[in-house]
């Protein structure tokens, strides 16, 4: 026989789960002055100023200060509301922050692997450049999403595992091709909209090593 | 209306039952996507690289001193542990796909996925978190009630007319809405707005680490206007997901919603939204290197279908010839 209280309890639990997930979707970091200085934030502030004008004139600085305070309050409220279910969220590694494709900026990067042979006066030859050169057949492995996340720079730069990734890549290449005397891994800078080639420009995050090398 | 009856209606909404085909398709899709992703790791020989302790040749951040996960604390941070964890993930993803011990498989796969995500936090993307939240719902549902080995073992047939609770499917729909709507709202940067001429997708295709192909600047210039249009359509599609529950409700209640509902139904907005989503994800899969992201999202789309529609599609006339060609006999629901 079905119990009469179970549907009520289940509905309550489902409501709790949905509410916690919706709260979890709110920003977990408060806005700061640097973020509000971006063009899109300035535009939104101007819009907000126009909407709030009937309730009293505010200067841009006052409005910015209010928005930052409100954002801090929202983050504090979010964290307080999620505190009871935080162990469950941690245990299941479920999150609701969906930043999909937010960072299509003016400067992008291309992973590059260059090598020198032991011949005298040899210059760097590109063995791998994302979507361009793939002499050693590394493209499928390096394009794999979990690996790409390590070397593809975010707004704050490359990940903490980038140095270990470079070591791993060099080790993998040298174990199969010991004839290379030196290897160089880095990220080629590309300015979108520019027709100039940056291939010979300095590589960002470049690491260069010569044989013999023991990681 | 009395407040009590509103509560009763709300409770009854979460107490609905339906046949199991939609959730079975979600289970199969999620299992296949996770299995494919793990098999890629094996194929590229990245198991140790991604998840082993630094001393064993892993990229970190896990180490002997800081094993980071429960599994390594229990069994040691050896490469054997890494392989046991990895093989457990593959076995449970396969078991989930075929519906073998479905609930246990979903829970063990969830546990393994959490361990792997903590061992390589940089490599754990949004799609992994999304699939984990769906794994919880699969474990709580009866997604293995049909089209599964479980059904074969318990009832003697892989397919059967099983009646299961609807609420896990409703929560998957709510999850999809939350993903799309928040992703759409957060797209406020200039390239996603008129401030930079809706150039976001043009920039995406210019990004070597994301774009599948190296497009010439001439080709991308020619594609600029269609890509601007695609950027706007992406925003409308994502933010439009806020109305998805309403559109689904209208679809399930053909006589409700008044003239506005009738007008929306005539416009086939629900079908248009779903078709846009399918095309959007297929284009992402074709043009970008986002891995399982588009396929993982598409794996959840069967939750948008009423189980009776899935039954009609599979057992009805549309797929009868294909079914007969594969199984050698006419399909039957029972």
How many angstroms separate the CA atoms of B188 and B280, rounded? 20
Query: What pLDDT shows up at residue B133?
Result: 97
> pLDDT band at residue A13, thresholds of 50, 70 and 90?
very high
Our CA-based measurement puts residue A123 at a distance from the nearest CA of chain B, in whole angstroms, of 25
Point out the residue among B44, B126, B188 whose CB comes nearest to the CB of A100.
B126
B17, B45, B86, B123: best mutation site toward chain A, by most A Cβ within 10 Å? B123
Q: What is the DSSP letter of B121?
A: G
- Whether A109 contacts A189, CB under 8 Å: yes
Q: Judge: A109–B171 Cβ closer than 8 Å, yes or no.
A: no
Partners of residue A160 in chain B, C-beta under 8 Å: 60-61, 122
Query: What pLDDT shows up at residue B4?
Result: 67
How long, in residues, is chain B? 334
Handedness of CA A171, A172, A178, A182 (dihedral sign): negative
Count CA atoms within 13 Å of residue B166 on its CB side. 15
Our CA-based measurement puts residue A186 at a distance from the nearest CA of chain B, in whole angstroms, of 13
How many angstroms separate the CA atoms of B118 and B69, rounded? 7
- Whether B136 contacts B110, CB under 8 Å: yes
pLDDT, mean of residues A137-155: 94
Look at residue B256 and give its three-state secondary structure. coil
Both tokens of B199, joined, read 């150039």
How many angstroms separate the CA atoms of B245 and B255, rounded? 17
> pLDDT band at residue A136, thresholds of 50, 70 and 90?
very high
- Whether B292 contacts A145, CB under 8 Å: yes
Report phi then psi at A24, rounded to 5: -65, -25
Q: Is the peptide bond before A204 cis (omega within 30 degrees of 0)?
A: no
B180, B209, B215, B292: best mutation site toward chain A, by most A Cβ within 10 Å? B209
ipTM of the complex: 0.90
Query: What pLDDT shows up at residue B333?
Result: 55
Point out the residue among B41, B59, B174 whose CB comes nearest to the CB of A150.
B59
Which of these, A181, A176, A179, A185, lies nearest to A123 by C-alpha position? A181
Look at residue A115 and give its three-state secondary structure. strand
- pLDDT tens across A71-112, in order? 999 999 999 999 999 999 999 999 998 877 666 577 889 999
Partners of residue A146 in chain B, C-beta under 8 Å: 41, 46, 50, 120, 122-125, 291
For chain A, percent of residues with pLDDT exceeding 70: 91
Q: How many CB atoms lie within 10 A of CB B85?
A: 21
Report phi then psi at B272, rounded to 5: -65, -45
Query: What pLDDT shows up at residue A1?
Result: 56
Query: What pLDDT shows up at residue A88?
Result: 94
Query: What pLDDT shows up at residue A157?
Result: 86
**How far is C-alpha B148 from the geometric centre of its chain's CA atoms?**
19
Q: Is the peptide bond before B45 cis (omega within 30 degrees of 0)?
A: no
> pLDDT band at residue A155, thresholds of 50, 70 and 90?
confident
Which of these, B12, B11, B103, B16, lies nearest to B307 by C-alpha position? B16
Point out the residue among B57, B122, B175 whose CB comes nearest to the CB of A149.
B122
Residues of chain B with pLDDT under 70: 1-4, 317-319, 323, 327, 331-334
Q: Judge: A131–B214 Cβ closer than 8 Å, yes or no.
A: yes
Our CA-based measurement puts residue A55 at a distance from the nearest CA of chain B, in whole angstroms, of 26
Q: What is the pTM of this model?
A: 0.92
Report phi then psi at B172, rounded to 5: -65, -40
How many angstroms separate the CA atoms of A83 and A87, rounded? 8
Partners of residue A39 in chain B, C-beta under 8 Å: 190, 195
- Whether A25 contacts B186, CB under 8 Å: no
Q: Judge: B10–A11 Cβ closer than 8 Å, yes or no.
A: yes
Query: What pLDDT shows up at residue B319?
Result: 64
User: Residue A115 burial by CB count (10 A; 0-12/13-18/19+): exposed, middle or buried?
Assistant: buried
How long, in residues, is chain A? 215
- pLDDT tens across A123-134, in order? 899 999 999 999
Can you state the percent helix, strand and coil of chain B, rounding each to 5?
Answer: 70, 0, 30
Query: What pLDDT shows up at residue A58?
Result: 82
Q: Judge: A108–B60 Cβ closer than 8 Å, yes or no.
A: no
- Whether B18 contacts B311, CB under 8 Å: no
């Amino acid at each position: 026989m079905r119990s009469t209280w179970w549907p009520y309890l289940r509905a309550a639990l489902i409501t709790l789960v949905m509410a916690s997930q919706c709260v979890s979707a709110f920003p977990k970091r408060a806005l700061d002055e640097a973020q509000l200085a971006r063009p899109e934030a300035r535009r939104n502030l101007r819009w907000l100023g126009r909407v709030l004008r009937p309730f009293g004139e505010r200067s841009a600085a006052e409005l910015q200060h209010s928005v930052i305070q409100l954002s801090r309050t929202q983050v504090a409220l979010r964290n307080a509301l999620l505190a009871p279910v935080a162990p469950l969220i941690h245990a299941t590694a479920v999150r609701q922050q969906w930043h999909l494709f937010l960072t299509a900026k003016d400067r992008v990067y291309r992973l590059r692997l260059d090598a020198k042979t032991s011949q005298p006066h040899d210059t760097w030859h590109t063995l791998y450049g994302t979507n361009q050169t793939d002499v050693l057949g590394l493209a499928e492995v390096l394009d794999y999403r979990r690996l790409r996340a390590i070397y593809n720079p975010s707004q704050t730069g490359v990940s903490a595992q980038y140095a270990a990734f470079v070591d791993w890549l060099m080790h993998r290449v040298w174990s199969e091709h010991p004839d290379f005397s030196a290897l160089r891994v880095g990220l080629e800078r590309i300015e979108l909209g520019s027709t100039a080639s940056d291939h010979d420009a300095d590589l960002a995050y470049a690491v260069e090593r010569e044989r013999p090398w023991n990681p | 209306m009395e407040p009590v009856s509103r509560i009763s209606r709300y409770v009854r909404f979460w107490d609905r039952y339906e046949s199991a085909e939609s959730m079975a398709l979600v289970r199969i899709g999620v299992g296949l996507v996770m299995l494919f992703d793990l098999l890629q790791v094996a194929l590229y020989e990245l198991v140790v690289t991604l998840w082993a302790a630094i001393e064993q040749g892993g990229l970190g951040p896990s180490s002997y001193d800081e094993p980071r996960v429960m599994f390594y604390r229990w069994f040691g941070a050896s490469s054997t542990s890494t392989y046991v964890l990895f093989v457990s993930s593959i076995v449970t993803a396969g078991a989930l796909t075929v519906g073998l011990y479905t609930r246990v498989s979903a829970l063990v796969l969830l546990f393994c996925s959490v361990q792997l995500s903590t061992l390589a936090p940089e490599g754990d993307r949004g799609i992994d978190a999304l699939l984990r939240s769906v794994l919880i719902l699969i474990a709580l549902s009866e997604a293995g009630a049909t089209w599964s080995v479980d059904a074969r073992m318990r009832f003697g047939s892989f397919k059967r007319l099983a009646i299961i609770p609807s609420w896990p499917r409703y929560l998957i729909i709510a999850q999809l809405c939350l993903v799309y709507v928040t992703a759409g709202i957060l797209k406020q940067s200039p390239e996603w707005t008129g401030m930079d001429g809706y150039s976001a997708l043009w920039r995406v295709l210019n990004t070597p680490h994301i774009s599948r192909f190296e497009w010439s600047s001439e080709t991308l210039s020619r594609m600029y206007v269609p890509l601007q249009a695609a950027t706007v359509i992406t925003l409308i599609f994502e933010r439009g997901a806020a109305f998805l529950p309403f559109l689904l409700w209208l679809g399930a209640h053909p006589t409700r919603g008044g003239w506005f509902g009738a007008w929306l139904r005539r416009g086939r907005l629900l079908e248009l939204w779903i078709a846009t989503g399918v095309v959007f994800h297929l284009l992402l899969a074709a043009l970008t290197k986002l891995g399982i992201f588009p396929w993982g999202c598409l794996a959840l789309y069967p939750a948008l279908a009423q189980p009776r529609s899935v039954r009609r599609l599979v057992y009805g006339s549309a797929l009868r010839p294909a079914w007969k060609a594969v199984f050698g006999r006419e399909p039957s629901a029972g």
